[in-house]
Structure 1
């Protein structure tokens, strides 16, 4: 058989288009990378870690990763955990370097990041946040938990019947005065610890959240270190546990359930930084017992970074694909186009495609700015808090508590907003890659399934958003009642409720005016919430949707204000021409956020219908201005193909050949007859209905029966 190839058929060459746009990038990509990482030194450190991870054969993650079943995922993850434990020893005592390493490996292998993050961030974090210095030093260093050596921990907070409402957990820790010990019990199936990462097969110890009971009196939820397995990795007496089964994603994590039946632990295993118990059972609690939950904020802060890194990866894939792929012809002649496919347009040049993806690129940059800021705030606040608790310096402690409250609001708002936005981004990017985005080898499917849980764990997003929104309303209420001006990141609230500010057409190109508009709306919506509360007998549930909106708006305000601050700080420096691209991205981010809440802006007269029309036009203009820079803007993330791990987003841009080679290398082209083919063959060769009924209903038979 012979084939005739049209003489004017041109083989697509997406790589050449991507390389051409890469060469025409108008700004310094390295400078942009340094901006995203927070400083030149941080950029150097990040690249160094990236290179180490990519070159490590044990940490290698290929396209085959997308075909693994649960057993293979867990087997490979265990080997990677062992390897990462060696990096902990290498990075020590600078645990921030290892945290950066963990954040980066989680981009390409989220389940690995979680497996180690649960141990270091949650188990060890709970001990650090709730334990005394002696307790932390013992478990972390003497027993080796800081290096995943000797101890591998899990975090037993969530129960089958309780998750977000931590104060209502039902596992009990009853004090035995005679034996100076606690008896840990699971009173009923609803109190079974559930979703506990690492519990099913890995963890030797757990940080167990349980109700402290002494002589029948309930002192609320405290944290206890409970051994689960002995040195032979056998279950301790009274411990029952198992696997909770298949999940939507991250099946490399052995999430399990735990039940405790009269499990006895020494009195000293109760973490006692904030609450202590004497030998005779006297419980002493500080007036600020809520400080015990400060350790939980670390996970939320980390998820802002996770959302940024994950968004970097998937927006890169979608934009490289959209630059390299041609489809349809733009313009009036499109319907009459008779030319060959080479005359088709790059799909990124279709306006709808720009409106779908470029605001998400802007959001990614905004999340990067927020990530750097909240990470810095978290470290500073925790350091101050620990210093205040250690020295009992009430002045330092007072400042730390104020900062902690601010951090709670910021992290709740940003965690919920950024994880939601990242999940939306992954799915939009998948759809923007058409049918090929549905391939497992694109990375989108597993990426979505793996990221979805971020919207639920470490604080359900709806609960966190309502909590953050409530804090904003309370800040406004306090200001109106006492004339005390809010401080910290809430300082913008002062006076804005009295300003009759409306966005004018000329304001939509002014970042400071857009920021003012956001701040004005937050004030007006908060004041409206106070009116609704007074009409509904202070029932906070009556303003649930408003609180959620306030949280999202506050997150947008936070990211925009920090972005403007960063932009202002670098104006005088030699920045390689990145000011203009960043300003364009921040403008698109701000306008996209305002458009998302246009109904609320219109409701409270911060935006007119005429200006809204101009705002939408400006978004289109910004997309056109940003369009030529998308390759440079995504190259600025510095993700190699190891981190991208997608046939649609490789650096060389050779989409079709990369995809073709992957499919043929991972699937045997000669294996064309499947083990189940006999079922299909039997179906195709099946006898007729009459034959299968042995002709019992045929005319001859019926004629015989009628005589």
Structure 2
């Protein structure tokens, strides 16, 4: 680990902060960090698309040969049964190459995950060993050209033919082709295809079917049509393609039938009677992909900030008054403002992500063991995964751009990685669920208080639900209010005028959430009127979408702050706790500052307090500036993985040479 830039932040403190950031799977993170080949997994950005795809494919084989994929798969088929570990190991790939990371996610997270979550024990034994060792490369065919977020309305069909015992897969229209499917254009031999299932003349809703798409020698199979999506804005090491099926027949046994099965005579049966509930149970079982994308975004943001902060400490510009020595750009408040609040937010997002991974691991491990999973807990997991993924991916997009700008022309050079990080992560905001749609899912859950049917409805169904319910009370409150009360009890003597009083920060965010949610309910209440038309119901819902999104965002901000506070409480090193406390203050106050228009409009803060918040953000930036290098070192990214010359000493050498030259002239 590199030496911290501040004399009062010791390597031991940095190690303690890293331990807090690493969370429950810190040992696994260290195991991955110990690899000495990750620096060589990265591909030159000048590599052509076909060569890039081939290189990523070769690297994926290397990872498979070394057992990188086994963490999350069942012990019965050769895995480790460590679902949380699979997400963490996937996240670490963000530091190497994002195309490799996404490609591995398609193979082991989406394709393998679909078989694991939706298949039976026999299907696990038949397919998962080949998924893990890459002898069965596959893809995950859910999204259609005409149906992205609305998976329940996909048009691809699987019709059971009782005479032959086969399912017939068809793409009825061009808009029903499976699109943007990673692995389809080059490598996949089989696809997990999401279809509308028909048997006995009846439709049974969305199910997944395993459909071979290529032979063992790579030839496209009869009835399967594959079109390469071509060059993309990023992630060009991933072979995205379009799939269409024309009367493709597969055995009945290829139906992933954990939640619904077709008997030999065509009789359909399911342990879940409601089609809506069955569909959302299936999607809930696949939530790991969304959690993994969220972790990738946090990792990409951390890497970008490591590069930008290191460069900011080395790059000098303009001489200080009365001195010939140029000033380090990170000593300028404007530069600190550009980087440090975002760095604090990455810390907050990492702690929230850690809690999400723990929740995923505990819920899905219980399910895999055959235990009962509380439905409310499952809904909470789905809602938190949706919301956290939206926050972390938007944060990564904004952060990487800020880091690129903070590095000036050097940040625009491909060798310094920021441009590639920006291009590769841009799509994170729309895959595994469009972020705006995901925030609506969070808000629906807040309104209903996780009522049994609400989360399973489409837009019109949601409106009708609202019309049928008494909305005089809103969802269960988050833990923010209880947290504020606990913080006040711990430090009762804190000055209420002190904006660093965390109980005040928490209370302010809690008030915003409660007010916003109450306002949303009031705006939706007219939909309850008797005799109101469906068109008017939809207009009411549509007109409240801005409030819907704000309510979700306010709720999620509280969850993230709550996670940060818990991480500080769990940290046993006093110096690390103190440093994390300042970072947490910067996160909370910059969050409030960002939305202080709302707090002023709604009388939650005065103009004087508003100015005090801005002044305190500036003060915290100045206080944390000496520790900036220590804070990015605590991400624990091995030196050899960083790869950007401006972050690995090249800029410092240039500055030293310039000073030596100036001295010689003097």
Map of 1:104 onto structure 2? 92
Map of 2:491 onto structure 1? none
For residues 281-340 of structure 1, give each alpha carbon's deviation from its aligned partner in whole angstroms, at most 9, with x where no partner exists. Answer: 22223133021112331111112211221111111111111111111246xx5xxx7x64
- Find out whether 1:86 has 2:65 as its counterpart: yes
Stretch deviating more after TM superposition (638-647 or 579-588): 638-647
Count of aligned residue pairs for this structure pair = 608
For the 8 Å contact 2:496–2:504, the answer to whether it is kept is no
SS in 1 for 2:318: coil
For residues 601-627 of structure 1, give each alpha carbon's deviation from its aligned partner in whole angstroms, at most 9, with x where no partner exists. Answer: 233333332211111111111111111
Distance 1:458 1:263 in 2: 27
Stretch deviating more after TM superposition (280-289 or 556-565): 280-289
- Find out whether 1:525 has 2:516 as its counterpart: yes
Map of 1:557 onto structure 2? 558
Map of 1:32 onto structure 2? 17
Counterparts in 2 of 1:374 and 1:98: CA distance versus 1, 3 Å: closer
Counterparts in 2 of 1:165 and 1:658: CA distance versus 1, 3 Å: farther
Map of 2:54 onto structure 1? 75
For the 8 Å contact 1:171–1:191, the answer to whether it is kept is yes
For the 8 Å contact 2:523–2:544, the answer to whether it is kept is yes
Structure 2's unaligned 5+ residue stretches are: 71-77, 455-465, 485-493, 528-535, 659-666
1:294 to 262, 269, 284: 284
For residues 229-268 of structure 1, give each alpha carbon's deviation from its aligned partner in whole angstroms, at most 9, with x where no partner exists. Answer: 1222222221111211100001000101111010001111
- Map of 1:234-245 to 2, 5 A cutoff? 234-245=219-230
Counterparts in 2 of 1:476 and 1:270: CA distance versus 1, 3 Å: closer
For the 8 Å contact 1:25–1:629, the answer to whether it is kept is yes
Map of 1:410 onto structure 2? 384
For the 8 Å contact 2:311–2:647, the answer to whether it is kept is yes
Distance 2:480 2:614 in 1: 27
SS in 2 for 1:605: coil
For the 8 Å contact 1:171–1:184, the answer to whether it is kept is yes
Distance 2:450 2:153 in 1: 30
For residues 100-125 of structure 1, give each alpha carbon's deviation from its aligned partner in whole angstroms, at most 9, with x where no partner exists. Answer: 33321232201011111111111111
- Find out whether 1:147 has 2:125 as its counterpart: no
Distance 1:212 1:426 in 2: 43
Map of 1:137 onto structure 2? 125
What's the offset of the Cα at 1:452?
0.5
For the 8 Å contact 1:511–1:564, the answer to whether it is kept is no
- Rg bigger for which structure? 1
For the 8 Å contact 2:38–2:96, the answer to whether it is kept is no
- Find out whether 1:361 has 2:335 as its counterpart: no
What's the offset of the Cα at 1:154?
0.2
Map of 1:664 onto structure 2? none
1:309 to 299, 312, 316: 299
What's the offset of the Cα at 1:540?
2.2
For the 8 Å contact 2:167–2:252, the answer to whether it is kept is yes
TM-score (norm 2): 0.85
SS in 1 for 2:244: strand
Map of 1:46 onto structure 2? 29
Map of 2:354 onto structure 1? 372
Distance 2:483 2:417 in 1: 48
- Map of 1:157-176 to 2, 5 A cutoff? 157-176=142-161
For the 8 Å contact 2:118–2:282, the answer to whether it is kept is yes
Distance 2:418 2:38 in 1: 24
Map of 2:438 onto structure 1? 464
Map of 2:590 onto structure 1? 592
What's the offset of the Cα at 1:507?
4.7
Counterparts in 2 of 1:434 and 1:583: CA distance versus 1, 3 Å: same
Map of 1:541 onto structure 2? 542
Distance 1:655 1:184 in 2: 62
What's the offset of the Cα at 1:641?
3.2
TM-score (norm 1): 0.81
Structure 1's unaligned 5+ residue stretches are: 1-17, 497-502, 661-707
What's the offset of the Cα at 1:475?
2.8
SS in 2 for 1:113: helix
Map of 1:432 onto structure 2? 406
1:196 to 161, 181, 184: 181
